[in-house]
Amino acid sequence: MGIEEEKPKAFQLKPMKCEFNFLSKSDGSAILSQGDTVAVVSVNGPLDIKSTSQSIEKSTLEVLYCTKGGKPSVADRYKENVIRQTCEAAVLGSLYPRTGITVTIQELEDFGGLLSCCLNCTCLALLNSGVSMRCTYAAITCAIDESGDIVLEPSKQHLDTARATMTFVFDSREKNLVTSVTEGVFSEDTYKEALARCHAASDLVFNFYREIIRKYANVI
């Protein structure tokens, strides 16, 4: 499915802040805030794992999602699965056969856009770990409000009254759509418009990645 470009209208996302190596006992870690929503991710691996869990073709990727408030719900398990599938599309697992890579995500604060924050933080933690990747990826969340307007990076209040929510993930190489998660009722035209806006706004996330890498590695 092709993505129709839309001229950005001075897109502005929530302020993003990131710190690498936030956790000392991991191969890579990052803490990311997007506005008031915060997540921390650690990556360990490639590691030796039990033979029953090994794959002779690629590494075995395990994603563990930890909620702030206790036992994970069905929605949390779904979020975990979305993140795992997105990571599998980005990580060059064929370079690490018969090993395991574990990604642990901890929700700290949720004020809207938690899934996109977790996805972006996971990408940054993978970069920090040194795991080989086909590409990086950027996630953008938007909401369709009661009047049908598209709100990028919605707040918790927007999400509570939204007609629909959408999260799109794009790769850094071809800017193709990697993952799409939608909830609610919307028209095909609304979906296409939301996709185009999030596609354009993803450049801001990729630019943020470059700034963080430049800060920690002193390279462009």
Does position 90 have pLDDT exceeding 80, yes or no?
yes
Domain map (residue ranges) of the chain: 16-217
The structure tokens 């933080």 sit at 121
Q: Residue 147 corresponds to which amino acid?
A: S
pLDDT digits (tens, 9 = 90+) for 129-139: 999 999 999 99
Q: How far apart are CA 93 and CA 62, in angstroms?
A: 12
At the second CATH level, the architecture of 16-217 is 2-Layer Sandwich (3.30)
Does position 106 have pLDDT exceeding 70, yes or no?
yes
C-beta atoms surrounding 42 within 10 Å: 24
Q: How far apart are CA 36 and CA 203, in angstroms?
A: 21
What are the tokens at 17? 């802040």
pLDDT band at 5; cut points 50, 70, 90 = very low
Does position 188 have pLDDT exceeding 90, yes or no?
yes
